[in-house]
Amino acid sequence: MILGAGSLGTALGNILAGNEDMKVILLTIEPEVADSINDQHINRKYFPGIRLNKNLKATLGEYVIRDADIVFLAIPSVAVVDYVLRNRQYLNPSTILVNLAKGFGNHNQVIAEHLMEELPNRVCSMKGPAFARDMIGGSPTGFTLATDDTELWSIFGEMCSGTSICLDYTHDVRGVEILSILKNIYAIILGIVDAHYNSANLRFLLLTRAFNEMRQVLLFFGGEQETLFRFCGYGDFSLTALNDLSRNRTLGLLIGKGFFTEDISSKVVLEGRLAVNIFYEKLMHEGAGEDKFPLMTQLYRVLNGNYPVQEMLRSLLSKELSDSSPQY
């Protein structure tokens, strides 16, 4: 079962529904979406021009959670924990929960760890460079499956066998969750720079420095360095930072071009913008100086004051900043 019939939930569900031995149901709160999927095999709201697998079904009733062996969580990150805990009476303790959402949950905790604390269920994290538009078209797509239970690796591997989904695996649940948030922050920075400079050399200079700073933040919060080289790390970061379909890169382009105003920012919820404040404040609270994480510090100043973008760019391009990366 997939909680959420948006673009990602529909794309993943459509892929898995290709296995006729698997019953795949999308749980949605949108009646028009459920009707179009069940009656016309089309998600008219999210993929109006795509014919879906006839085996893919949708429902509005939470009761379907009772019979689910696996529940994929494909709703906005800020809603995941509240929704699951509010409907925990439907959850069988043997049901496997898989977090697809990329962002912080309640109390600025990573979602998978919060669910592990609250529920007896096995909880996984599954993240990667996955644009739903490409997935629905059958493009091969990589995900990292993170779980402490290695028995689940073979279960998910078999489930995805013969589909367009490619998996790699890790025990590092925290690292996968953290990287799925961090990549949005550094994608904003790449967008800001690209809005001002059409330079391949500069783009990849900043990309390298951003990837290194991601490594430092990951290690600071207890993630494993090896996780950076899974689909959830380098792959997802590169997709988000360099592709104009990325919402957070687009946010960076808007900021860099001077179109980002308080009116826009109050209406658009973007994971990266929210995450900057959370990570920065956590780092400062833990005693990390601003000089240890200069890229995030510069972006925090732009998003939370009258710090000019031009000043940020001068700082990002300075020789002193490029030589200041600490080692852990």
Q: What is the pLDDT of residues 242-278, one digit of tens each?
A: 999 998 999 899 888 888 666 555 545 566 678 899 9
Residues 6+ apart with CB under 8 A from 250: 191, 244
In this prediction the pTM is 0.92
Confidence of residue 21 (pLDDT cuts 50, 70, 90): confident
User: Considering only CA atoms, which of 89, 90, 79, 74 is closest in space to residue 33?
Assistant: 74
Q: What pLDDT shows up at residue 109?
A: 87
Q: What angle do CA 58, 111, 66 make, to 5 degrees?
A: 40
Q: What pLDDT shows up at residue 288?
A: 85
Question: Judging by DSSP bridges, how do beta strands 165-170 and 123-127 pair with one another?
Answer: unpaired
* Phi-psi group of 138: left, alpha or beta (phi > 0 → left; psi -120 to 50 → alpha; rest → beta): left
Assign 43 to helix, strand or coil.
strand
Q: Summarize the confidence of residues 201-219 as an average pLDDT.
A: 95
Q: Summarize the confidence of residues 297-324 as an average pLDDT.
A: 80
Q: What pLDDT shows up at residue 198?
A: 84
**Cα diameter, the chain:** 61
The β-bridge partners of 72 are 2, 98
Distance CA 115, CA 83 (A): 11
Q: What pLDDT shows up at residue 325?
A: 52
Distance CA 99, CA 9 (A): 11
**pLDDT at residue 230 greater than cutoff 70:** yes
Q: Is 183 a catalytic residue?
A: yes
Distance CA 224, CA 176 (A): 9
**pLDDT at residue 47 greater than cutoff 80:** yes
- In the chain, what percentage of residues exceed pLDDT 70? 93
**pLDDT at residue 87 greater than cutoff 90:** yes
Residue among 102, 127, 183, 292 flagged as catalytic: 183
User: Considering only CA atoms, which of 80, 108, 278, 317 is closest in space to residue 185?
Assistant: 278
Domains of the chain (ranges, CATH numbers): 2-171 (3.40.50.720), 175-322 (1.10.1040.10)
User: Considering only CA atoms, which of 235, 255, 244, 226 is closest in space to residue 183?
Assistant: 235
